[in-house]
């Protein structure tokens, strides 16, 4: 009987675990394990954090196929990033240029560098010190969306902004 209870207990926790994983938040939630139902009040992004940048400025700009010119939409996202960076003058950022899979590996590495540089130049033109910005190209090696669809490709053609360090 006790054995049965033990086994049943294990079974229940397995079910709970799998329920959590299908929920999709356990792996990335830094509060995993804390009883979040006890938290009172709204939880916003920490000012100056990556999450803050993503929520309040947008951290990705997208490009047309085989292009590295900034669309008006990309320019307005970068303008919000520039304003955000003025607010947090100690923040340093990394711009990573990415491509869809409809090009060769080597050309896409060069194209990704173009995209990151296009974003960097635009931020600099809006008054962000170039020294605060580093760039990297991942070519077609780091897709956000792995599928071979137009929708996935348009997501994968981007320059992504990541906070490298925030001054104290």
Instruction: Quote the tokens at residue 34.
Output: 């804390």
Q: How many residues bind another protein (CB under 8 A)?
A: 36
Instruction: Quote the tokens at residue 49.
Output: 């954090």
What's CA 132's distance to the chain center, in Å?
19
Restricted to residues 106-135, the positions that interact with another protein (CB under 8 A) are 106-107, 109-111, 113-114, 116-118, 120-121, 134-135
CA distance to 35, 48, 66, 67, per residue, from 90 (Å):
34, 9, 34, 32
- Is residue 91 within the footprint of another protein (CB under 8 A)? no
Restricted to residues 13-72, the positions that interact with another protein (CB under 8 A) are none
Beta carbon of residue 110, minimum distance to another protein (angstroms, whole number): 4
Among 20, 79, 83, 94, binds another protein (CB under 8 A): 94
Question: Is the distance from CB of 112 to CB of 157 less than 8 angstroms?
Answer: no
Rounded to the nearest 10 degrees, the angle between the axes of helix 105-125 and helix 72-87 is: 60
Q: What is the contact surface with another protein in residues (CB under 8 A)?
A: 94, 101-107, 109-111, 113-114, 116-118, 120-121, 134-139, 141-149, 152, 162, 164
């Amino acid at each position: 009987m006790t054995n049965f209870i033990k086994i049943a207990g294990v079974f229940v926790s397995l079910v709970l675990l799998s329920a959590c994983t299908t929920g999709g938040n356990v792996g990335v939630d830094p509060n995993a394990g804390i009883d979040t139902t006890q938290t009172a009040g709204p939880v916003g992004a920490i000012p100056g954090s990556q999450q803050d940048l993503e929520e309040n400025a947008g951290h990705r700009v997208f490009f047309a196929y085989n292009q590295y010119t900034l669309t008006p939409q990309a320019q307005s996202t970068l303008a919000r990033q520039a304003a955000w960076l003025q607010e947090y003058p100690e923040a340093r950022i990394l711009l990573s240029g990415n491509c869809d899979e409809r090009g060769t590996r080597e050309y896409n590495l060069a194209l990704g560098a173009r995209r990151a540089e296009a974003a960097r130049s635009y931020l600099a033109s809006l008054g962000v010190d170039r020294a605060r910005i580093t760039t990297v190209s991942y070519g077609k090696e780091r897709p956000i969306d792995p599928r071979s669809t137009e929708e996935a490709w348009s997501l994968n053609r981007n320059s992504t902004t990541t906070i490298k360090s925030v001054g104290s």
